Amino acid sequence: MATFRERIIGLARSLNLSREQFTVGPFIDWPAIQKRIESRFVMKTRSDLSPLEWPEHFKGKQQVIKSQTFEPYEYLDELLPVNEIFWLLLPDSAQEQKLWLFQGYIRPIQKVLSQLPKTSFYVVAKKYEWLLFNDRKDEFTALGELPEKPESYKEPEAETLPPEQPEEEN
């Protein structure tokens, strides 16, 4: 039977996503990556704190971002640059307390998430400036300094028009 990781990668390949677009995170680096995430975003109160318990122990300023779409993952490309690679952390549906590390661009991440049953997930900047967490609700918990919203998604500035002049009667 295929592991969760193998199923996710198989799913990505069936969606015609290349290894450059979406792949498994570096397995041997996962402990160091986990430690960096914990040191930056998690108040580790005990040594056996599971990654699935992180949300109850987030540290620092937290921002709640309401999703503007039906499924929260659909909103990711409006929050994040599409030309950067991010970490994606997914809980293993078969093994509680286990997260799998993947990496990819945001649109391929969205494609993969669209094919999964609704699940919690983390998207983390590879330089650890920020973390987004979704726990199957219509909102994200954001920690750290999110990147500026991509230019194409910025709200247009309100156009100021001169006051209307009454039409002159002839």
DSSP 8-state secondary structure symbol assigned to residue 133: E
Q: Is residue 123 part of a domain?
A: yes
Average pLDDT on 19-35 reads: 93
Q: Is residue 153 part of a domain?
A: no
Q: Is residue 154 part of a domain?
A: no
On average, the pLDDT of the chain sits at: 86
Q: Is residue 162 part of a domain?
A: no
Query: Measured between alpha carbons, how far is 139 from 153 in angstroms, rounded to an integer?
Result: 18
pLDDT at 161: 45
Q: Is residue 160 part of a domain?
A: no
The structural domain count of the chain equals 1
Q: Is the pLDDT of residue 154 over 60?
A: no
- Residue 118 vs residue 10, higher pLDDT: 10
Q: Is residue 165 part of a domain?
A: no
DSSP calls for 47-81: TT--GGGGGGGB-S-EEEEE-SSSSGGGGHHHHS-
Q: Is the pLDDT of residue 149 over 70?
A: no
Residue 22 is part of which domain span? 4-43+51-145
pLDDT at 66: 85
Q: Is residue 159 part of a domain?
A: no
Q: Is residue 166 part of a domain?
A: no
| Percent of the chain scoring above 70 in pLDDT | 86
